[in-house]
Amino acid sequence: MCGYTGFTNFIDNSNIVIENMMNRIRHRGPDADGKYIDGDIALGHRRLSIIDVTSQGDQPLYNEDKSMVLVFNGEIYNFMDIRKKLIDAGHKFRTNTDSEVLIHGYEEYGAELLNMLRGMFSFVIWDKNKKELFGARDFFGIKPFYYAQMNKTFMFGSEIKSFLEHPDFKKELNTSALENYLTFQYSPTNETFFENVYKLPPAHYLIHKDGKTVIKRYWDVKFDADEKPQLNDWVKEISDVFHDSVKAHKIADVEVGSFLSSGVDSSYVAAIADVDKTFTVGFGKDEKYNEIGWAKEFSKAIGKENNSKVISPEEYWGNISKIQYHMDEPLADPSAIALYFVCNIASKKLKVVLSGEGADEIFGGYNVYSDPDGTAYDRLPRAIKRGIGNIAQKLPAKRGVNFFVRKGKDVEERFIGNAYMFTPEQRKALLKIKTKAPDPMEITKPFYDNVKGKDDVTKMQYLDLHLWMAGDILLKADKMSMANSLELRVPFLDKQVMSLAQRIPRRYRVSHTASSNGDTPYITKYAMRLAAKKDTPSQTAKTAAKKKLGFPVPIRVWLKEDKYYNIVRSYFENESSKKFFNTELLVKLLDEHRDSKADNSRKIWTVFIFLIWYQVYFENNGTYLTNL
């Protein structure tokens, strides 16, 4: 696991600039650094040594005649198989790293190499002879890839913050990203919060030559249910494929550990990974916010050492600024900060951890996926539901009314992902500024168009796989682990696992009727939970039925306390806030929450996190505060 940065070279002091850019991302690779500079390009790399930890694995790496140069971030788990094919084809290897198969593989296969890979990756290859840059990002977007064209310079890298050091970088706020963020809680398009800085989408590659950039998709998820196998067949196949994925994800020349919450995903990973150490964090003593006791019990049952930490409110709030610095873009997911701390305690013991991200999107695990067809009301004719919904929409919003509003809409109209903070009307009222942000349904429509004719659960999963997972789940996983110089691996997000999961019928992903031999019915991740139960020690098998908590954070409680209420209010009323927001509406949200008139905690947090991020990058020039 590493980080890289670079630019097409039209400046005189490129050696100093690339060094400064590399220093910005030193946390991604403290073990070694390297660079390549010529009259056309500058490449910089920071290395975290995982496979072939000797200096021969340092990057950049070259092909035999040094006409091609590689910088790479990630892991290729099937590199030995690809390496053998390349050696048979006559390629000469200088190292034992997984990285080197990319440069020889690109020589041999071109972009077709990408579909041969099994792993997580983001990399660029510079072809000196063609004066052409090839860059690619993995299937799910586990590893980041940012780029920008400014003046004559094309910049690219693992983190946007490295671009701040380039003299051609023009730092401007993308206000459309701000408006989108207020609804999604993350930036949902390929644009970023920095004007003219973009994300290469997952499963895409780019070619940059002569100042022009061409971007192409090379892979996509294809849900196509196979109705023939029985439930037990699917359970066995999930078990076999996931065992194989975990084995592949453990390939390393250093120790590997595992994160552990009380949910089935991380428990499943930890139970079969046979690692020595698990890692857990929590808040206070309330079981709603603290899973440490359960994790210790589970770890003891599987014979592993659990390392844990109770995060104090002071620690949590004291690191918000640092975390938004590392995130590059504001992310209003409160669990990102909890993830930072579990990465931090793990990094004191080892360099690599396994985690359970991706299981919900792939196997149908979110509670919201049980909403379609979950009640008798769903079986009413669509016209009746829409009529009732239109009437309900005119009434004051509350729980019972919201049910009829929601059920009166098609999934394409109501579901944008696992977070829906401010409606388009609410965000327009909140913002002082005018932006060119599209309506949320304009953003989601291309994804829904790709799964026309599929059932609603499949549509929701497909959307989450492309937006929520890449924009929220994997963003925080990469940035929080790398902030602590830790490699985080996600065995659920594996091509082989996805190839299986996309064939599982809906009734074995999300089911309202299935039961397990008289046990409590599993509604979400049905087949996967049975596989986990099969592979989990009997005394801990209850985890298969446990409701998902994730990293629960008590922000709704904290925001009612004077100390934290006052911190947030001070940001809501500062000069930066007044540039963008109607601040009296922000204070109203805050006061209503403190007075228990409404739970506005997530909306408050969304705006507050943006203001912290803006302070870091636009008021403090890319430096974070040690306290708020």
**Residues with catalytic roles:** 2
Identity of the residue numbered 441:
M
Q: Which two tokens stand for residue 8?
A: 């097409």
Contact criterion met (CB below 8 Å) for 192 and 174: yes
Between CA 30 and CA 2 the distance in angstroms is 9
Q: Which two tokens stand for residue 281?
A: 């964090």
Q: Which of 372, 585, 349, 329 is nearest to 478 (CA)?
A: 329
Query: Which residues, including other chains, have CB under 8 Å from residue 240's CB and lie 6 or more apart?
Result: none
Residues recorded for the chain: 628
The CA–CA distances, whole Å, from 592 to 402, 562, 565, 595 equal: 20, 14, 12, 5
172-200 in b/e form (b: 16+ CB < 10 A) is ebbbbbbbbbbbbbbbbbebbbbbebbbb
Contact criterion met (CB below 8 Å) for 173 and 194: yes
- Axis crossing angle, helix 264-273 with helix 526-535, rounded to the nearest 10: 30
Q: Which of 315, 179, 181 is nearest to 606 (CA)?
A: 181
DSSP 397: P
- Axis crossing angle, helix 440-449 with helix 175-184, rounded to the nearest 10: 70
∠ Cα 462 479 32 (to 5°) = 130
Between CA 428 and CA 426 the distance in angstroms is 5
Radius of gyration of the chain measured on its C-alpha atoms: 24
Strand ranges, E, within 233-334: 256-259, 277-282, 305-310
DSSP 56: G
Residue with tokens 């990465």: 343
Contact criterion met (CB below 8 Å) for 15 and 9: no
Between CA 438 and CA 423 the distance in angstroms is 12
Identify the bridge partners of residue 157 per DSSP, sorted by sequence position.
5, 146
Q: Which two tokens stand for residue 231?
A: 């439930």
The total of other beta-carbon atoms located within 10 Å of residue 561's CB is 12
